[in-house]
Structure 1
Amino acid sequence: MSGLTAVALVVVILERWLFTAFATTDQVRVTSLFTALPPWAPAGWLLHLALVVLCFAAGHARATAPWPAGQVVRPVVTFLVAWGGGLVVLLANGFSRDAVLQILDAALGPLTCLIPYLPLWAVPYLAGLAWGRGRPGPELLPPGSRLVVLINRFALPLFLWHPTALVLAALATARLGPIAGLNDSPTGPLWLLARLAWLPVLATVLIGLVALARRR
């Protein structure tokens, strides 16, 4: 199941990075590629299934190898404290209430899957829990793969911080003006190609955030 967790997490991160944009012209505005290309919207719903799979895999992992409470609580507390500071910075820099709410809604979204009493995400989580207690799950990648082990080791921080990496990249470049695929509004397929080119930058920012949070 570790391979399934790794694949699902990567798909969840890519779905957010490829189709969500923080346009920084005037005030920050959260938008989506599906706004520019409505016929592509069903693809977004299909990719959202990866989040269901991720919750399922989390439930399975919880059943087969219970996590120490600190491995969950500490990253979440660090994340919330950091965004508490981020909120102060946003307000101090004159961001409108609407812009701040949009940013927080996107950045804090990963917490949804961590609240298993929410019925929508409790279903796949509990299904994975039951599956894990009944029998081992299938592997999509070799469980001993170095990459799989690494992703699973940092799965929670990666999941928590991946929208923040996108927010930081957009805000850090706002003064440079609209940059295709990074801090502008999606316009179509060419925008998606430009965003693909920025994925290494977003990955670098995410790795930096996870490393910084781990030191706290």
Structure 2
Amino acid sequence: MREPAPNPVHRALTGIRQGARRVDTATPASRDRALDALRALAILGVVLGHWLVTALVVDGDTLHTASPLGSMPWLAPVSWVFQTLAVFFLVGGHVATRGHASARARGTTYPQWLYGRLSRLFRPVAALLGLWAVAAAALLVSGAPLETVHTLVKLALSPLWFLVVFAALTAATPLVARLNPMWPLAVVLHVDLWRFGLGGAPDWLGWVNVAAGWLVPYTLGAAWARGELDGRRAGWVLFAGGAAATAGLVAWAGYPASMVGVPGAAVSNLDPPTLAAVTFGLAQCGLALLLRDRLRRAMGRPLAWAAVALVNLSAMTIFLWHQTALMATTATALPTGRRSGLHTLPDDLTWVAARLAWLPVFALALTVCWTAFRSFEQGPRRRAGRPSRLVHRHARPADVKASRHA
């Protein structure tokens, strides 16, 4: 008697488990999976944070941005969870420092190393710029208000500031890899004293903190790569010291409690970075160091590791297109009427509940963007019979050599 055909869901789950085991088996034992986990958490934290606090409000025939943090400031702790950029710079400093040292040992020149680091970082940008150049022109030709076009383009391209700063710090790795993080922290402190304490500093002075502020976690990552932050003591010092300093700055120095920008607010902790944002980043870096052993153990599970590897493989695509996914959802739903959580003012808990319900739709729209544009980051899809890039990217050298000759 013929056995019944396997359930399609069961087949899919079996395939996912088998693929996860292949990725897990092909990953070198020397790879620090905690770093990949931290990078994935940092990227996903930024994406979820933006989706939760960015509202596109329909006002007549125009759109403008708003934030629930403006009308409900008691939601500021949400920004403490999802403002995770310091962790990304921490991991970036660690990886770039070790990568540059390894490249020098192999005889790779600095320009070759830098090109390899930045090419994958910026390839996906071309697709984003091209699509939004066409979209902006189409909107203007169709008669869309200039204010609306400006709002949409600014929101879509807002992730690019991060890439520019990260690329500049990456290029400066040979110069800053051994810099004590206290030096850029001192620069941030003095800039803020001039801006807020003395009150006579020109506006442009605050932008010095864009480099100095993110240089703090970046150089911490370099120190971690040199083995200077091993042990839980360093993690506790950074976490406790950074948290206490941030609490003091918010409670007694007048810094905003929100760690992200709020439209209409007099001061933003991120635009440009303030001392409070930097000390908050120190606390996050300390927490990352404290969690690394647990993350390494968690990444021993094939399914968890395969998910993290997949996010890392598409990190820039996810980061660059997440705001476009939000706007695409907003625009698609607009003909059906003004929807709470999408088009209305974010001024009550009803909006918050509705926005949470929209998150899966944003994720679906981002998946569509990922499917369409991931090749700009990952390269062309593999030919039939060739090993997956997910496996290839995490394979041992011997496995990679074998796959190239398969």
Q: What is the deviation of 1:126?
A: 4.1
- 1:10 paired with 2:40, answer no
Partner of 1:154: 314
- 1:142 paired with 2:302, answer no
2:148 to 87, 99, 108: 99
Q: What is the deviation of 1:122?
A: 3.8
Partner of 1:76: 125
SS at match of 2:340: coil
Q: Hey, what's the Cα distance between the residues in 1 that align with 2:355 and 2:327?
A: 14
Q: What is the deviation of 1:215?
A: 4.2
Q: 1:126 to 1:207 in 2, by over 3 A?
A: farther
Q: Hey, what's the Cα distance between the residues in 1 that align with 2:52 and 2:74?
A: 16
Partner of 1:33: 68
Q: TM-score, length-normalised on structure 1?
A: 0.86
Q: 1:129 to 1:161 in 2, by over 3 A?
A: farther
AA in 1 matched with 2:68:
L
Select the structure with the greater relative contact order (CA < 8 A; seq sep ≥ 6).
1
1:51 to 79, 85, 91: 85
Q: 1:205 to 1:132 in 2, by over 3 A?
A: farther
Q: What is the deviation of 1:104?
A: 2.1
The answer (yes or no) to whether the contact 2:48–2:82 under 8 Å persists in 1 is: no
Bigger mean CA offset, 93-102 vs 193-202? 93-102
Deviation per CA, 1:64-116, whole angstroms, max 9, x where unpaired?
45754431221111111122112112212322222222222222111111112
Q: What is the deviation of 1:178?
A: 0.7
Q: What is the deviation of 1:131?
A: 2.8
- 1:174 paired with 2:334, answer yes
Structure 2, unmatched stretches of 5+, are: 1-34, 101-115, 169-209, 231-288, 377-406
Bigger mean CA offset, 115-124 vs 50-59? 115-124
Q: 1:126 to 1:161 in 2, by over 3 A?
A: farther
Q: 1:214 to 1:49 in 2, by over 3 A?
A: closer
- 1:192 paired with 2:226, answer no
Q: TM-score, length-normalised on structure 2?
A: 0.48
Deviation per CA, 1:3-57, whole angstroms, max 9, x where unpaired?
11111211111111111111234211111111221232x3254246412222322
Partner of 2:191: none
Partner of 1:124: 217
User: Computing the radius of gyration over CA atoms, which structure comes out larger, 1 or 2?
Assistant: 2
The answer (yes or no) to whether the contact 1:17–1:199 under 8 Å persists in 2 is: yes
The answer (yes or no) to whether the contact 1:8–1:53 under 8 Å persists in 2 is: yes
- 1:62 paired with 2:62, answer no
Q: 1:200 to 1:96 in 2, by over 3 A?
A: same
C-alpha RMSD of the superposition: 2.4
Q: 1:94 to 1:65 in 2, by over 3 A?
A: farther
SS at match of 1:207: helix
The answer (yes or no) to whether the contact 1:25–1:174 under 8 Å persists in 2 is: no
Q: 1:65 to 1:147 in 2, by over 3 A?
A: farther
2:164 to 96, 112, 115: 115
